[in-house]
Amino acid sequence: MKGEVGMSEVEGRFFDFRPFGPRDPDEVHRAATPLELFFDLVTVIAIASAAVGLHHGIAENHAAQAIPVFLVAFTAIWWAWMNYTWYASAYDNDGPLYRLLTFWIMGGALLLAASVPRFFDGMDLRLPVLAFVIMRVGMIALWVIAARHDSAHAASARRYAIGIALAQVFWIVIVALAPPQSPLLFALIGLGFLAEFMVPVWAERVSPTPWHAEHIVERYGLLMIIMLGEILLAGSIAFARAGDAITLASPLVQIAVAALITAFSMWWLYFARNDHHRVHMQDRQLAFTWGYGHVIPFCSAAAVGAAIAVLVDIVTGHADISLRAGQWAIAVPLAAYMAGLWVIRDRFVLEGATRHILLLFAALVLATGLLPNGGLVALPVLALASVWARSMLATRQRRRERADAGD
């Protein structure tokens, strides 16, 4: 019948192979694809699992054990996301093979999310490493395919594939030789991540892959929104726990309001006009600093969400730490978030004393930990003040730049 598509034609479309040639790095209106957003959904599930472990560890007065485990779990999740994102920016062709390999990596991410509680409980690396290796094998396949179809960047793609493969061998050796409670375990994990981090540095020296600056900035922004969503979720839990006592006198309502103001302020600080794109325009070599350095604000935002949840447990009597300790749990990652934005952006795009404004507010946020009971009020106030101060000073700088350009 007219309009019907035969099975052979459908199969031909499904298994149609599309070349993995490089994308145009100057492509107009390049935006995130539905597949990339789907990938982000899986990533947030894994990050939420790590944040829950951090939340319970701090609330149970085991922060010294929970924080290193959270950092390891978060770094693994972030690194897998980042590698895929930069590859997609250069080679996403939305073909069937590309989609299937993406689903393979997503399956590994879900397995990693499921393994995080076991890692928190007994430092058992077997399942987390298996999940991580599954994700990385998918990336090896993608880079091998890119090497075959992009002659201009074949050497770089081959370096990626070889480097990632060697790093996975190291992870397997760690699991085979290092007992879960070994004092050297975290040192070996650090070496494993160092090997992973050096692969792009080594590979990109041959011929930089054709990633798209605006697309990368958008992708990082979308993940940041997901990170901030952890804070909003914790705030909504505080509202729900308040029940019918939704008044400003309720400690739970105060926590919820503080969470909302803090999340809104963090969003505003991150999405400051086109400042992230200006970093890439200033010097393409800053991509490594910008891309790698994002682990600080990403991880910090997730930790703030976990800390808000800890405060809810404290005021409802389900935590083994004091309110002051809970305020420290928020102040430290919030200060790290501000310092992280200085590392990846402000020191490159702002001038004079304005350049260091977020470092000043990071110090002030840390100082709230010294307050006996006023930290819950001071933290969101400082977050709002940092938005106002940075926005005002950055606006003045842009006006001076426009005036100088007009002369």
The mean-pLDDT minimum among 48-52, 55-59, 371-375, 395-399 falls in: 371-375
In which band, very low, low, confident or very high, does the pLDDT at 239 lie, cut at 50, 70 and 90?
confident
**Angle value at C-alpha 35, between 30 and 37, nearest 5 degrees:** 80
Can you tell me which residue has the tokens 């949840």?
Answer: 309
Per the model's pLDDT, the better-predicted residue between 21 and 148 turns out to be 148
Fold annotation for 213-406: I/LWEQ domain (1.20.1410)
Residue pLDDT, tens place only, 70-115: 999 999 999 999 999 999 999 998 889 999 999 999 999 999 999 9
Residue 305 to residue 251: CA distance in whole angstroms:
17
Q: Which residues contact 204 (CB under 8 A, 6 or more apart)?
A: 156
Which long-range contacts does 340-343 make (Cβ < 8 Å, 24+ apart)? 340/293, 340/294, 340/296, 340/297, 340/300, 341/269, 341/270, 341/297, 343/289, 343/293, 343/296
- Helix ranges (H only) for 150-250 are 154-177, 185-204, 213-242
Residue pLDDT, tens place only, 275-287: 787 777 667 778 8
Looking at residue 316, its amino acid is T
In which band, very low, low, confident or very high, does the pLDDT at 2 lie, cut at 50, 70 and 90?
very low
For the chain, where do the domains classified as CATH 1.20.1410 start and end? 213-406
Can you tell me which residue has the tokens 């794109």?
Answer: 277
DSSP state of 320: S
**Model pTM?**
0.91
Can you tell me which residue has the tokens 């083994």?
Answer: 320
Residue pLDDT, tens place only, 45-56: 999 999 999 999
Residue 89 to residue 216: CA distance in whole angstroms:
7
CB-based contact 277:213 (threshold 8 Å): yes
Residue 107 to residue 56: CA distance in whole angstroms:
26
